[in-house]
């Protein structure tokens, strides 16, 4: 029965067959005929849009450095689309850096090459230099935590207790410092890691890159980046108060005991530096001349709803979003099996949702087909890139 149903299915899955993509062919052939198909998946703007967004020719044209951030719900194809864009930039002459700030890195899996290690790793098989960098948000979080703890965490309370300054510990209570340090907002690690990368980008080692593509963590985390400078203001303010209280208490004690003042590392300055870096990253993201945020989604109600919320948040933060990639769209069919027919109905509904969504309807939609094999390795990414980035 299942075989009979499947036999009726004439959905023309795009033959990203291993044979084709591992040999680097880019032509698309139908599984039921050997004739090339004319792909219907193209950059197109929605009816009524006055100014269609630039195509890949414009994305590649300028020599000035550009940043592309790809974000969206988990599992929709952010890494695949980001990696395919990076490959395409590199194959069009742009030395390109692909950065993953998703704690669950998948660049190595996507390229089928070992790109791990938190340092620049060259990607093999592309025409111009393409480097990958998997940054470690966990490490950034730990560093932030250690620095904060040194200024005023439990270490301070222990120290003050041992100095007989228990009353000051009580005064610290109202600053809710412990709470502050223990409840760093989710995504703070990713944001810190991104800001660390941004400072490298000004260095000589990174100066050759003219295209920088970010594969970001799922939706909510990326958005934290924008609220962090304010969060840092609050936390730095609290830490400065503690430092002042500590400084006056310790100098009184030391003068009584006749001890010399020790030079202390200026930790709040470090936090201020971090805050400044984050503010710089936020400003860069808001600069529509250099940066574009591309939302990736799939045609399901849940993914579309999340994309709409993401777009609202990015608009409030003045981040430029011009295109929405609708990934894994079922290809055309001469006659669907029952499963494909149901799936197509759902997808059609989700695409209509996009077209009627006030946040998403104004974007240029780029449909990318569901292909019949997993997208792994440079030839496969090139294949995907040729369909998505046109």
Ligand X SMILES: Nc1ncnc2c1ncn2[C@@H]1O[C@H](COP(=O)(O)OP(=O)(O)OP(=O)(O)O)[C@@H](O)[C@H]1O
Which residues are known to be catalytic?
102
**Terminal Cα-to-Cα distance of the chain (whole angstroms):** 41
328 binds ligand X (CB under 6 A): yes
Q: CA angle 154-158-162, nearest 5°? A: 170
Q: Is 295 exposed, middle or buried (0-12, 13-18, 19+ CB in 10 A)?
A: buried
Contact 298, 341 (CB under 8 A): no
Q: In angstroms, how far is CA 302 from the centroid of its own chain?
A: 19
**Phi and psi dihedrals of 185, rounded to 5?**
-60, 150
Pick one of 370, 381, 386, 389: the residue that binds ligand X (CB under 6 A).
Answer: 370
User: 314: how many CB neighbours lie within 10 A of its CB?
Assistant: 22
In angstroms, what is the minimal distance from the CB of 143 to ligand X?
24
Contacts of 126 (CB under 8 A, 6+ apart): 87, 90, 91, 378
Instruction: For ligand X, give the closer residue by CB, 210 or 367.
Output: 367
371 binds ligand X (CB under 6 A): yes
40 binds ligand X (CB under 6 A): no
Please state the length of the chain. 390
76 binds ligand X (CB under 6 A): yes
In angstroms, what is the minimal distance from the CB of 54 to ligand X?
23
Residues 206-245 that bind ligand X (CB under 6 A): 218
Q: In this chain, which stretch among 235-243, 270-278, 315-323, 363-371 interacts with ligand X, using CB under 6 A?
A: 363-371
102 binds ligand X (CB under 6 A): yes
In angstroms, what is the minimal distance from the CB of 194 to ligand X?
16
Contacts of 97 (CB under 8 A, 6+ apart): 86, 120, 130, 131, 132, 133, 206, 209, 211, 212, 213
Instruction: For ligand X, give the closer residue by CB, 239 or 337.
Output: 337
Instruction: For ligand X, give the closer residue by CB, 15 or 211.
Output: 15
368 binds ligand X (CB under 6 A): yes
Q: In this chain, which stretch among 72-80, 173-181, 240-248, 276-284 interacts with ligand X, using CB under 6 A?
A: 72-80
Taking the C-alpha atoms of residue 53 and residue 6, their distance in angstroms, rounded to an integer, is 40
Instruction: For ligand X, give the closer residue by CB, 86 or 274.
Output: 86
Q: In this chain, which stretch among 139-147, 228-236, 344-352, 370-378 interacts with ligand X, using CB under 6 A?
A: 370-378
| Residue 118 zone, left/alpha/beta (φ > 0; ψ -120 to 50; rest) | left
77 binds ligand X (CB under 6 A): yes
For binding to ligand X (CB under 6 A), which residues are involved? 74-80, 102, 104, 106, 218, 327-328, 368, 370-371, 374-375
């Amino acid at each position: 029965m299942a075989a009979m149903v499947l036999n009726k299915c004439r959905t023309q899955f795009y033959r990203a067959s291993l044979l084709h993509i591992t040999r680097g062919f880019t032509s698309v052939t139908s599984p039921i005929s050997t004739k090339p198909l004319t792909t219907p998946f193209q950059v197109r703007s929605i009816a009524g849009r006055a100014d269609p967004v630039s195509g890949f020719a414009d994305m590649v044209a300028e020599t000035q450095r550009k940043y592309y951030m790809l974000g969206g719900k988990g599992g929709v194809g952010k890494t695949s689309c980001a990696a395919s864009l990076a490959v395409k930039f590199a194959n069009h002459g742009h030395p390109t850096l692909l950065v993953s700030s998703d704690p669950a890195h998948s660049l190595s899996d996507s390229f089928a090459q070992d790109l791990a290690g938190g340092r620049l790793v060259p990607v093999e098989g592309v025409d111009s230099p393409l480097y990958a960098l998997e940054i470690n948000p966990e490490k950034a979080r730990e560093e932030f935590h250690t620095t904060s703890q040194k200024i005023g965490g439990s270490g301070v309370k222990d120290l003050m207790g041992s100095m007989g300054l228990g009353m000051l510990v009580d005064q610290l209570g109202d600053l809710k410092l412990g709470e502050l340090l223990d409840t760093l907002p989710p995504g703070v690690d990713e944001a810190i890691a991104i800001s660390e990368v941004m400072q490298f980008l000004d260095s000589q080692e990174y100066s050759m890159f003219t295209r920088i593509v970010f594969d970001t963590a799922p939706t909510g985390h990326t958005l934290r980046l924008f609220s962090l400078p304010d969060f840092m203001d609050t936390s730095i303010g609290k830490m400065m108060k503690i430092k002042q209280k500590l400084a006056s208490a310790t100098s009184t004690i030391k003068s009584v005991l006749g001890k010399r003042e020790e030079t202390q590392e200026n930790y709040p300055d470090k936090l201020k530096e971090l805050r400044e870096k984050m503010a710089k990253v936020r400003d860069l993201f808001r600069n529509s001349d250099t940066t574009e945020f591309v939302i990736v989604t799939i045609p399901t109600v849940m993914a579309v709803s999340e994309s709409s919320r993401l777009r609202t948040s990015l608009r409030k933060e003045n981040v430029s979003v011009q295109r929405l990639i609708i990934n894994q769209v079922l290809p055309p069919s001469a006659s669907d099996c029952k499963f494909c027919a149901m799936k197509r109905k759902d997808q059609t509904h989700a695409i209509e949702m996009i077209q009627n969504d006030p946040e998403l309807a104004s974007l240029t939609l780029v449909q990318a087909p569901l292909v019949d094999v997993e997208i792994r390795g440079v030839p496969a990414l090139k294949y995907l890139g040729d369909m998505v980035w046109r």
